[in-house]
Chains A and B, each alone.
Chain A
């Protein structure tokens, strides 16, 4: 009786201690966060005042800086910042290079219209002859072929041709990805594609006036430097009406001229305009 009672009291005391500890920690956390907020607010307000003062001073001065006043160090630091900023956006040109101890490391950027996609690097050695040391080019891009043809005679050409291949691949991949991401409700089953993204096979449907029309599309991109297909086959079921066959032919023509995701976008807008 007594011991059991004592045990219970002990347990209760421990519970209370744990609860108190927990509350203390939570309070400490809240106090820390509150202090941090105050500290950051102060820092932010200081910066805001600094930026406002700077604006005012610039409006009033409106003069070029005098290098004698700024001192040589400030001038150099300014120029260093200036060049660093230019280098930071140089990837936008598509081909970027940097010398390394062993040779040169090139970075090839890819883009589809206004969106920059993945970039790939090629590290070249220059001695005893120009050769590829390391690279991140996917295996389905014919790198060795391109290198064999151009690397020894014209590095610029080598990079240009490689860039064409990579950009075309990135463009095809982008179209297929966009199709899967934004038009998945119109795709029946899975979109089949190879790693080079130059062969796409899929079933899709187009609806108009609350009727759906199923099609099968097969797109072959024969030109590896192009992101539009060279061969398009759009077919419908053998028992389909003639109007559907006409639609298939129209789609076939569309897919060979217009990017895949843009073609599908035009289907949706057609449907809206029809309803």
Chain B
């Protein structure tokens, strides 16, 4: 009988300790979320802090700590392109082996921005910590893209957060690669290369300033399937004045196929450069 009373006390002690941890984290979270300081305000604080802390080593430790953390955060960007810009978390449940938190995370991957909402259940078992994502919601800036919408829906349905980040990384990298390639050729051959939809568009037009009727359009689409696999697809379209068309029908018809072979043999940059040179030469 004595043992059972002790057991009741011990159970209550455990539940109280868990509750205290939960309340403490809730309080911390609310304190953190009720405040917001912009980057300018933080910079100003650092400056005034540096003035104050002249000679106080322990205070300048804070600044060193902040700088080191910011370096760590920007380090992530180097290898995946992913950068977090804002984060909000809320504790939902906390027991000895289970912690459930709601998260809202915003960021970008190269030029693509995302906003995520999810619940994360973290469980401590004998050897390690496991985590499960539930209630995943994703908002992509390029929301109208039908490819992307299908991928996002499939990801939300299965809670596939890791695959989302990995796929986004390679998709955004292709976007960036395309943008840089367009920029490079526009800079190198400004008279021949035009970008009707700008650097973020998906096609490039090549024309010789002396023969305005003749144009080559290279369309570079970047597809993403439901599983998150990225495939770039390039196509060549020709715009040719009628007289030339009658004379060189076969060559013109073969052009797209030749372009595809060039892509396979030489890669995108060389194939594009060859086309630009051809357009530049046209008599």
The answer, among B9, B27, B70, B166, for a CB contact under 8 Å with A34, is B9
Q: How far is the CA of A89 from the CA of B129 in the complex (A)?
A: 13
Interface range on chain A (Cβ under 8 Å from partner): 35 or more
The answer, among B32, B159, B165, for a CB contact under 8 Å with A114, is B159
A65 contacts B36, C-beta separation under 8 Å: yes
Q: Which of A2-10, A40-48, A198-206, A242-250 contacts B (4 or more CB under 8 A)?
A: A40-48
Q: Which of B10-18, B246-254, B258-266 contacts A (4 or more CB under 8 A)?
A: B10-18
Chain B positions within 8 Å of A40 at CB level: 13, 16-17, 20
Q: Quick check: is A129 within 8 A (CB to CB) of the other chain?
A: no
Chain B positions within 8 Å of A36 at CB level: 9, 13
Q: How far is the CA of A26 from the CA of B2 in the complex (A)?
A: 8
Q: How far is the CA of A77 from the CA of B45 in the complex (A)?
A: 11
Q: How far is the CA of A137 from the CA of B9 in the complex (A)?
A: 46
Q: Quick check: is B233 within 8 A (CB to CB) of the other chain?
A: no
Q: Quick check: is A80 within 8 A (CB to CB) of the other chain?
A: yes
B49 contacts A72, C-beta separation under 8 Å: yes
Q: Quick check: is B46 within 8 A (CB to CB) of the other chain?
A: yes
Task: For chain B, residues 51 to 81, give those with C-beta under 8 angstroms from any C-beta of chain A.
Answer: 52, 59, 62-63, 65-66, 69-73, 75-76, 78-80
A80 contacts B62, C-beta separation under 8 Å: yes
Q: How far is the CA of A118 from the CA of B125 in the complex (A)?
A: 13
Q: Mark B1-44, 1 if CB is under 8 A from A, else 0.
A: 01001100110110011011001101100111011110001101
The answer, among A67, A77, A83, for a CB contact under 8 Å with B73, is A83
Chain B positions within 8 Å of A92 at CB level: 120, 131, 133, 161-162, 165
Q: How far is the CB of A35 from chain B (nearest CB, A)?
A: 10
Q: Which of A143-151, A154-162, A231-239 contacts B (4 or more CB under 8 A)?
A: A154-162
Chain A positions within 8 Å of B10 at CB level: 33
The answer, among B75, B159, B166, for a CB contact under 8 Å with A113, is B159
Chain A positions within 8 Å of B195 at CB level: none
Q: Which of B82-90, B181-189, B203-211 contacts A (4 or more CB under 8 A)?
A: B82-90
Q: Contacts A26-B2, A92-B162, A94-B165; is A51 near B9 (CB within 8 Å)?
A: no
A72 contacts B30, C-beta separation under 8 Å: no
A111 contacts B163, C-beta separation under 8 Å: yes
B49 contacts A93, C-beta separation under 8 Å: no
Taking CB as reference atom, which chain B residue is nearest A80? B66
The answer, among A78, A86, A109, for a CB contact under 8 Å with B35, is A78
Q: Mark A80-94, 1 if CB is under 8 A from B, else 0.
A: 111111110110111
Q: Which of A96-104, A178-186, A187-195, A209-217 contacts B (4 or more CB under 8 A)?
A: A96-104
Chain B positions within 8 Å of A109 at CB level: 162
Q: Contacts A83-B73, A109-B162, A160-B170; is A76 near B23 (CB within 8 Å)?
A: no
Q: Quick check: is A75 within 8 A (CB to CB) of the other chain?
A: yes
Q: Quick check: is A37 within 8 A (CB to CB) of the other chain?
A: yes
Chain B positions within 8 Å of A95 at CB level: 76, 79-80
Could you give 5 example pairs across A and B, Cβ below 8 Å?
A29-B6, A51-B27, A67-B41, A75-B45, A114-B133
Chain A residues packing against B (C-beta within 8 Å) = 26, 29-30, 33-34, 36-37, 40-41, 43-44, 47-48, 50-51, 54-55, 58, 61, 64-65, 67, 70, 72-73, 75-87, 89-90, 92-99, 106, 109-111, 113-118, 155-156, 159-160, 163, 167
Pick the 3 closest A-B CB pairs, nearest first.
Answer: A114-B159, A33-B9, A111-B162
